[in-house]
A and B are shown apart, each in its own frame.
Chain A
């Protein structure tokens, strides 16, 4: 039998970087943080894993991808992401890639300035609101840029969030997204090793001068009565 010498470089289908060091523990730790991020919208929290992520993916986003993507999740990838990222995701998660944002379970975005409008993604159906697209957006950090105030389930009073690089249209589209409830897209923002969750229920206000009640968001009628002073507060209403 003759000996064969293969080309010394690795084939294009093989990434040069490993995935999680401990697949089970790291994926569970990441999943827990992602859940907490959605439960407390707007507050950023670190993802406690060590990972060598490929160029174009920050650590938090890479960890989330390894945790959330699998053989059954169609993923829409922003064309600006490198083929190295695609190869890495394919090797470690086995996910399917789709060109159609409507078919995507997850959308991976690394340049939010030129991202498609939120309503181009799947918002779900009345029978199955859970099939909506979850957007994984990479940003630079959570301490620069205009402040956005957030209200809604999971936020006791108001949560302030500063994210640079998100276009103004993103926030206006999110308001339209809230009108669709219980449909709509959920968003995760990733910067370095930190993650912020923006579920479909969170009401975001770019400037503080606008009254949050008038934005089409669902407000409990009881809260309207409380804020108008007709009912002093919930304690007296439900009290003994």
Chain B
């Protein structure tokens, strides 16, 4: 995995987690460093496009609500001009807090001091529970599978 796909992975985990679950997980991290908004949380629409069968002509499937936010960690008092990590949060739905938390985690994951802590106590457990849910759902779906047979009458 290169650095882009690793970041894509944690951004996806943060975006797919339920806002309340993310809030609790982030609170368990303790006191977070101060940050400022480069783009305060806001709600907007994005057009979701699709292709019939994955290969056909592109068409507009519909619009979906997306919240987004960009934060920047505040520089330390000793070095106010220091370049600080910038975190982006794009999440489905209208939860502004969700977008903010996702952006803050994204920023923290880019710093050497916080990266391991956030990876182990936020991203890893959330990803594990996603995968568990997915397996459960697949099993539930699989148990309802019906096989159809065409019986050819011997005439």
Contact = CB atoms under 8 A, between A and B. Distances in A.
Interface of A: 1-6, 8-11, 14-19, 23, 91-92
Nearest to B3: A4
Given A6-B110, A8-B85, A1 B37 contact: no
Contacts of B83: 8-10, 16
Interface size class of B (residues with CB under 8 A): 20 to 34
B109 to A, nearest CB: 8
A5 B111 CA distance: 7
B3 A6 contact: yes
Nearest to B110: A6
A49 to B, nearest CB: 15
Interface in B73-124: 83-86, 110-112, 115-116, 119
B38 A3 contact: no
B67 interface: no
Contacts of B111: 8
Contacts of B116: 3
A10 B85 CA distance: 6
A2 B119 CA distance: 10
- Among B7, B37, B38, B111, residue most surrounded by chain A Cβ atoms (within 10 Å): B38
Contacts of B42: 23
Contacts of B112: 5, 8
Majority-rule SS of A interface residues? loop
Contacts of B47: none
Contacts of B36: 18
B125 interface: no
B39 A1 contact: no
B45 to A, nearest CB: 13
Contacts of A23: 40, 42
B84 A4 contact: no
Interface of B: 1, 3, 6-7, 9, 36-40, 42, 70, 72, 83-86, 110-112, 115-116, 119
B6 A1 contact: yes
A104 B45 CA distance: 27
A1 B38 contact: no
B119 A3 contact: yes
A200 B155 CA distance: 90
| 7 closest Cβ pairs, A-B complex | A9-B83, A6-B110, A10-B86, A4-B6, A4-B3, A14-B86, A18-B38
A18 B112 CA distance: 24
A88 to B, nearest CB: 10
Contacts of A9: 83
A23 B68 CA distance: 14
A176 B7 CA distance: 56
Given A8-B83, A9-B83, A14 B119 contact: no
B86 A11 contact: yes
Contacts of B115: 3-5
Contacts of A6: 3, 7, 85, 110
